[in-house]
Amino acid sequence: MAQERATPPIVIVGGGPVGMMLAMNIAALGVRSLVLNTGIDSRWHPKGSTQNARTMEHYRRLGVAGRVRKVGLPPNHPTDVGYFTALNGRELARLPMESEADKMRRVQAAPVTDQVPEPLFRCNQMYAERELHAYMKTVDLVDSRYGWRCVAVADRGTHVEAEAEHVASGRRETLRCAYLVGADGGQSVVRRTLGIRYSGEVIDEAKANAYGTGATISTHLRAPDLYRRVIKQKRCWQYWIVSGKLRALLTALDGDSEFLFNTRCRSVDDPPDRDFIAQRLHDAIGEDVAVEYIGYWPWTAGQALVANSFGRGRIVLAGDAVHLFTPTGGFGMNTGIDDAANLGWKLAAMVQGWGGPNLLASYEAERRPIAFRNTGHAKRLSGSLADVPTAPEMDDDSEAGTRARAASREVLMGFGEEFASIGVQLGARYDGSPIIAGDGTAPPPDDPAIYQPTSIPGGRAPHAWLADRSSLYDHFGPGFTLLRLPGCRADERALAVSFARRDMPLTVYDVPVPEARDLYQRGLALVRPDQHVAWRGDALPDDCDALLAKVTGW
């Protein structure tokens, strides 16, 4: 191996959204990490456009939510989902959705116990990633080397060695660290080095004729005339084209001139050329419009895959490296960012010495079931556009045309479920995890459309607004937080002593919101750094050391 040099204790391979968020979660607890990323900058090709409510909460916790909300679709741009025969043709159906400005007005006036302090935001990943990247570079405890590729990893038992290659020069360095994370996407070198495979539903191209499944060409384009000449008053976030001739999707990116255009193609290994895309785009729009092509990229849509393991020894995997989603519901990146929140504090705890021998294994125990849950929801929601009835006379002014459009509309209006997934977004639970001190209470049912706040250990800590309109979450510490709910007079000192003995961060917060007592149903709740409840009660347990040992994996 080439020359060795001192490295932060944690190396993250992959500086996509998951790798960057992981580094920031680790830094929040005072631990240094190094992010390696093949590209020299954050990605500049659009992928997902949904920063969901849980992701936005994580951004808020790490101080970057405000920055992200400034990019993406402008505040007053409609975020409706519209279905058209062609962009200049008939509107078949429209699922109305709040603009960002309306949403934020609603949040500002929301009741004290409202559960969505950071509503879902329609902002393409490439804009959000640029903000995350710029912010990450200001975080002292994150070293980043973009333009460096990891070419080999090896767990040596007491440490990990990684071989990093400077992409431009080919120069190599050996990095030595305590833990390494593969957040290197669907083609993960780290996962393949460990010999870990995905299981689940792969796409059989021979049968994949449904839209949203199989080989797809994704095109980033600029077309300033679209708004002025074609879209005019019909503004949406997504424009789905459903006709006898074509199924395609045009997504508004900046609300001005940039769009993402997705349509089926024959094969990802033999991607179509510009003429094919131009023809499909012409059919989708219904007329010629000047277009500047920024880039195009083939990918396989419609997968629901989960890795057989989330790591081995000192090497762990997160994000697309362990789960691949069909895009419906927009859960892919968001699930990865939730992985990062779960994993970040555990890795920091291992480096700082307060994480027990079972803590790292709890990451897979808690997150792999969520990967199955979320890929399952995405798959279930992928009601195929291919099944929407169409007819040649759909654009006609005739009675037959009216009938054909009504038949399509009836099916399309049922697609709204995809955009009502607050239960999926906020309802991830770690019941049965070895590091959750459950109290025997049955959790609420896992309903994709409903989130029921509860302090039953394992779930997200319920939210509340304070009188100054700060969020309860703004008062949590970077480590564990003990919440004392109104009316509870329990003395926290024994727990504080146990934390101090282990050199563990604890924040004690007296919640000043009377309504929060009903939400929490107990006087005390111990909340983890990832905002999940680890334990609750009306008085501290007799043995606080034993509680701490449990929740930190000893």
Ligand X SMILES: Cc1cc2nc3c(=O)[nH]c(=O)nc-3n(C[C@H](O)[C@H](O)[C@H](O)COP(=O)(O)OP(=O)(O)OC[C@H]3O[C@@H](n4cnc5c(N)ncnc54)[C@H](O)[C@@H]3O)c2cc1C
Which of 227, 299 has the CB closer to ligand X?
Answer: 299
Rounded-to-integer distance, Cα 315 and Cα 350, Å: 13
Which of 20, 482 has the CB closer to ligand X?
Answer: 20
For 547, other C-beta atoms within 10 Å of its C-beta total 20
Q: Does 49 bind ligand X (CB under 6 A)?
A: yes
Task: Give rounded-to-5 percent helix, strand, coil for the chain.
Answer: 30, 25, 45
Provide the minimum distance between the beta carbon of 320 and ligand X in the complex, in angstroms, as a whole number.
4
Which of 39, 541 has the CB closer to ligand X?
Answer: 39
Among 23, 24, 136, 150, binds ligand X (CB under 6 A): 150
Provide the minimum distance between the beta carbon of 255 and ligand X in the complex, in angstroms, as a whole number.
17
Residue 343's contacts (CB-CB under 8 Å, 6 or more residues apart) are: 22, 25, 181, 316, 318, 363, 367
Provide the minimum distance between the beta carbon of 157 and ligand X in the complex, in angstroms, as a whole number.
23
Residue type, 145: R
Which of 16, 529 has the CB closer to ligand X?
Answer: 16
Provide the minimum distance between the beta carbon of 299 and ligand X in the complex, in angstroms, as a whole number.
5
Q: Does 19 bind ligand X (CB under 6 A)?
A: yes
Q: Which stretch binds ligand X (CB under 6 A): 15-23, 275-283, 366-374, 450-458?
A: 15-23
Among 10, 18, 53, 404, binds ligand X (CB under 6 A): 18
Residue 281's contacts (CB-CB under 8 Å, 6 or more residues apart) are: 219, 221, 261, 291
Rounded-to-integer distance, Cα 525 and Cα 476, Å: 12
φ/ψ of residue 348, rounded to 5: -60, -40
Provide the minimum distance between the beta carbon of 391 and ligand X in the complex, in angstroms, as a whole number.
29
Which of 151, 413 has the CB closer to ligand X?
Answer: 151
Provide the minimum distance between the beta carbon of 200 and ligand X in the complex, in angstroms, as a whole number.
15
Residues paired with 30 in a beta bridge? none
Tell the residue number behind the tokens 């329990």, with chain if given.
Answer: 490
Site for ligand X in 301-340 (CB under 6 A): 319-320, 327, 330-334, 336
Residue 546's contacts (CB-CB under 8 Å, 6 or more residues apart) are: none
Contact track, ligand X, 162-201, x by CB under 6 A: ---------------------xxx---x------------
Contact track, ligand X, 207-246, x by CB under 6 A: -----------x----------------------------
Residue 338 near residue 366 (C-beta atoms within 8 A): no
Provide the minimum distance between the beta carbon of 166 and ligand X in the complex, in angstroms, as a whole number.
11
Locate the DSSP E strands across 230-343. Answer: 238-242, 247-252, 258-264, 292-301, 304-307, 311-312, 315-317, 323-324
Rounded-to-integer distance, Cα 425 and Cα 443, Å: 16
Interaction site with ligand X (CB under 6 A): 13-19, 36-39, 43, 47-50, 125, 149-150, 183-185, 189, 218, 299, 319-320, 327, 330-334, 336
